[in-house]
Amino acid sequence: MGFFDRLSRLVRANANAVVGAMEDPAKILDQSVADMQSDLVKLRQAVATAIASQKRIQNQAEQADAQAKTWYERAELALKKGEEDLAREALGRRKTCQDTATALQSQLQSQAGQVEQLKQSLVKLESKIAEAKTKKDMLKARAQAAQAQEQLQSAVGNLGTNSSMAAFERME
């Protein structure tokens, strides 16, 4: 069993080394910001959909209120004419419209809370993206500076070693 564990560890280590060598920090940062932008677009669409739904519910509630008022007026008119059966029917329909309006108002309040929550999430995501863009630029600059420093150290190290060795060989 020890052999297979070692072999597995060796394969994973080599795979990680290959992936690590292929990784470019600048590209990964750019892709991360692009992914955040994609999430932002999706969130904006969700907010727009929620707002449209809220307006639709509000319109339906207003229509139900208007219908309830209309049925109440019809009931009053039927009573004035002495038609109690029509008045009862109109009051029944008024009650149905009022119940619908009440249910829609409750749903409207719930939807308004969801819309507000989505808007807050949108603002937070926008600020995170702005912060990530700033950090991305800073990290890219830092990575370039580190790469330049590494190249400089390598060049200085090679120069010092080669000239010292050349001088030593000449002395021999």
pLDDT tens for the 172 residues of the chain, in order: 688 888 888 888 887 777 776 677 778 888 888 898 999 999 999 999 999 999 999 999 999 999 999 999 999 999 999 898 999 999 999 999 999 999 999 999 999 999 999 999 999 999 999 998 888 888 888 878 888 888 888 777 666 555 566 666 666 5
Tell me the CATH number for domain 2-171.
1.10.287
Question: In which element (H, E) is residue 1 found?
Answer: none
Q: Concatenate the DSSP letters of all residues of 34-56 into one string.
A: HHHHHHHHHHHHHHHHHHHHHHH
Q: Which token pair is 100?
A: 């619908």
Q: Which token pair is 109?
A: 């309040």
Q: Supply the pLDDT for residue 33.
A: 86
Q: Supply the pLDDT for residue 1.
A: 63
Q: Supply the pLDDT for residue 63.
A: 95
Burial of 75 (0-12, 13-18, 19+ CB in 10 A): buried
Distance, CA of 30 to CA of 24 (rounded, Å): 10
